[in-house]
Amino acid sequence: MYMITLLGAASMAMASPVYQDTITLQIPTSHQQAREYRLVCNKENLEVGEIHMAASKLETKSDSCKVGKSGSRFMEHGGVKVTGWPFETDDTSSPCKAVGAAVHKIADECQGKGGSAQVGDNLNLIVHVSSNWV
């Protein structure tokens, strides 16, 4: 597993939320690990409504949300920043609607704590919700 150091608390995602205090985004080193990676929530203090609004704005975009090797900034709404990171590739993309759905899931499961999640079936794209650009 390799780690990307973040400016704020971060995490990964999938099933039941697990909370952590780390300030790193942990990215599994294989697709098998990614499939088994559980939802991990941050311990930030974000507005749930702002997270959902950022997600809704992403869902209305008709284009793809593309992410490069060093990550991409997808959306900012209020105190919420949504970024994307590639996994096992230099770049990838998913429909912004799928990215928005992943952000809604983070809001629903983690409330205002922020967190990270894989985007739908795209094992190569991780979306992160935080108060910082990471």
How far is Cα 98 from Cα 119, in angstroms, rounded to an integer?
A: 6
Reported pTM = 0.76
Would you write out the chain's pLDDT as a tens digit for each of its 134 residues?
333 333 333 334 344 555 555 444 555 555 555 454 467 899 999 999 999 999 999 999 999 999 999 999 999 999 999 999 988 788 999 999 999 999 999 999 999 999 999 888 787 899 999 999 98
What's the number of domains the chain is made of?
Answer: 1
Q: Which pLDDT tens digit goes with each residue over 38-72?
A: 678 999 999 999 999 999 999 999 999 999 999 99
| One-letter-per-residue 3-state SS of 24-52 | EEEECCCHHHHHHCCCEECCCCCCHHHHH
**Which amino acid, residue 26?**
Q
Q: Which domain holds residue 31?
A: 2-130
How far is Cα 18 from Cα 80, in angstroms, rounded to an integer?
A: 20
CATH number for the domain spanning 47: value is 3.30.430
Count CB-CB contacts under 10 A for residue 122: 18
